[in-house]
């Protein structure tokens, strides 16, 4: 294993009884040992280490502050156990780190909707170390050593970039259509009048109706799909990592799906991102926190869930394509 420099717990925490307790549930013995060694090296206090059957049996047992679970394959009993664990973690504040296989991702994602867990797909040891380090931010009582500059930048990059995207979409959604475009001449803006009659509760004013009508529609999904294909075409001639832009690729995919009135599974969205699933899941989590993506439960099957644009993000994407114009849409 390559050395992973991380934010190890301050030894002073052990003396003060402040180190984090960590539980491990995995069926593969070598993996349990590996996870235990890595967690101990990162400064966690190791609690229960057991196989998955321990969770499935349903016995209520104390949880660690952090719970590592490896379930590459899931059945009905395992999903029920994960759902119970998810509710308990949400209630007690435990942080879940669940690793699985891409084939089981939709099922695992669907049953973990309470505790905001970190989901990893076929993770490396480094992926698990990063996930364990991220849990430390949820426990302010800890004193942590300073991150190395490389690790600090790696961990902050997602939050910073998604925050910038959210701010730009907020501005785009709030801006009126540019005056330079002919359609802006037809935009109606109601004059401010403190003495104007107040609308009755539940009734929309004429100005509100006109403002809503002036908002552009979502672009033709065929156009968005063409843009996505054009972006993917670059990988035929250049290293795909040169153009990795998962947030934008996922925004485009969800925009097309919304225009098509289609639902997008988390697995499908991970594929659309063009990056490894574990990386894509981190991005999805950040986009949810930024108010750009939302989790949609399947009314027909409560065990399933989908990812969609929020209304704010959809409005911003509609305005973006409208302002871009048909002559330049191939550039994105």
pLDDT in tens, 70-121: 999 888 889 999 999 999 999 988 999 999 999 999 999 999 999 999 999 9
Q: Which residue has the higher pLDDT, 228 or 188?
A: 228
CA terminus-to-terminus distance, the chain:
40
Residue located via tokens 């364990």: 132
Rounded distance, CA 127 to CA 38, Å?
Answer: 11
Look up residue 268 and give its two tokens: 């499908």
Look over the chain and give the mean of its residue pLDDT values, rounded to a whole number: 77
Q: Which residue has the higher pLDDT, 59 or 270?
A: 270
The per-residue pLDDT for 247 is 93
The yes-or-no verdict on residue 230 having pLDDT over 90 is: no
**Domains in the chain, please, with CATH?**
11-146 (3.40.50.2300), 221-331 (1.10.10.10)
What's the pLDDT score for residue 164? 59
Per-residue pLDDT at 288 exceeds 90: yes
Handedness of CA 275, 279, 281, 284 (dihedral sign): negative
Residue-level pLDDT at 3: 36
Mean pLDDT of 171-179: 56
The pLDDT assigned to 328 comes to 55
pLDDT (0 to 100) of residue 175: 59
Instruction: Report yes or no on whether pTM surpasses 0.85.
Output: no
| Pick from 303, 285, 290, 311: nearest CA to 96 | 285
Q: Starting from the edge strand earliest in sequence, which strands make up the sheet with 21-26, in order?
A: 45-50, 21-26, 66-70, 95-100, 118-121
pLDDT, tens digit, for every residue of 40-59? 888 889 999 998 888 877 66
Instruction: Pull the structure tokens for residue 292.
Output: 């750009």
Percent of the chain with pLDDT over 70: 68
- 2 has pLDDT over 50: no
Count of Cβ atoms closer than 10 Å to residue 222 Cβ: 11
Residue 76 zone, left/alpha/beta (φ > 0; ψ -120 to 50; rest): alpha
Name the band, by pLDDT with cuts 50, 70 and 90, for residue 193. very low
SS3 letters across the chain: CCCCCCCCECHHHHHCCCCCEEEEEECCHHHHHHHHHHHHHCCCEEEEEECCHHHHCCCCCCCCCEEEEECCCCCHHHHHHHHHHHHHHHHHCCEEEEEECHHHHHHHHHHCCCCCCEEEECCCHHHHHHHHHHHHHHCCCCCECCCCHHHHHHHHHHHHHHHHHHHHHHHHHHCCCCCCCHHHHHCCCCCCCCCCCCCCCCCCCHHHHHHHHHCCCCCCHHHHHHHHHHHHHHHHCCCHHHHCCHHHHHHHHHHHHHHHCCCECHHHHHHHHCCCHHHHHHHHHHHHHCCCEEEEECCCCCCCEEEEECHHHHHHHHHHHHHHCCCCHHHC
- The confidence score (pLDDT) of residue 70 equals 96
pLDDT digits (tens, 9 = 90+) for 113-126: 999 999 999 998 88
């Amino acid at each position: 294993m390559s050395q992973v420099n991380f934010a190890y717990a301050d030894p002073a925490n052990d003396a003060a009884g402040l180190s984090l307790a960590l539980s491990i549930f995995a069926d593969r013995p070598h993996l349990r040992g590996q996870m235990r060694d890595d967690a101990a090296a990162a400064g966690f206090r190791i609690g229960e280490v057991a196989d998955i059957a321990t969770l499935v049996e349903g016995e209520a047992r104390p949880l660690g502050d952090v719970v590592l679970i490896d379930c590459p394959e899931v059945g009905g009993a395992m999903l029920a156990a994960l759902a119970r664990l998810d509710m308990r973690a949400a209630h007690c504040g435990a942080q879940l780190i669940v690793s699985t296989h891409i084939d089981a991702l939709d099922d695992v994602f669907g049953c973990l909707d309470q505790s905001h867990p970190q989901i990893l797909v076929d993770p490396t040891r480094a992926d698990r170390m990063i996930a364990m380090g991220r849990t430390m931010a949820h426990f302010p009582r800890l004193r942590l050593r300073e991150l190395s500059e490389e690790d600090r930048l790696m961990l902050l990059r997602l939050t910073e970039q998604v925050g910038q995207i959210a701010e730009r979409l907020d501005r785009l959604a709030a801006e009126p259509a540019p005056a330079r475009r002919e359609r802006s001449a037809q935009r109606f803006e109601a004059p401010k009048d403190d003495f104007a009659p107040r609308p009755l509760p539940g009734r929309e004013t004429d100005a509100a109706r006109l403002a809503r009508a002036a908002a552009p529609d979502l672009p033709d999904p065929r156009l968005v799909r063409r843009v996505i294909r054009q972006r993917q075409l670059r990988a035929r001639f250049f290293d795909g990592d040169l153009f990795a832009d998962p947030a934008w690729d996922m925004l485009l995919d969800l925009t097309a799906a919304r225009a098509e009135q289609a639902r997008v599974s988390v697995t499908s969205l991970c594929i659309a991102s063009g990056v490894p699933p574990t990386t894509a899941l981190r991005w999805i989590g950040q986009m949810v926190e930024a108010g750009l993506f939302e989790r949609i439960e399947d009314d027909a099957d409560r065990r399933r869930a989908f990812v969609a644009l929020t209304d704010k993000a959809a409005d911003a994407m509609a305005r973006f394509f409208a302002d871009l114009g048909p002559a330049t849409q191939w550039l994105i």
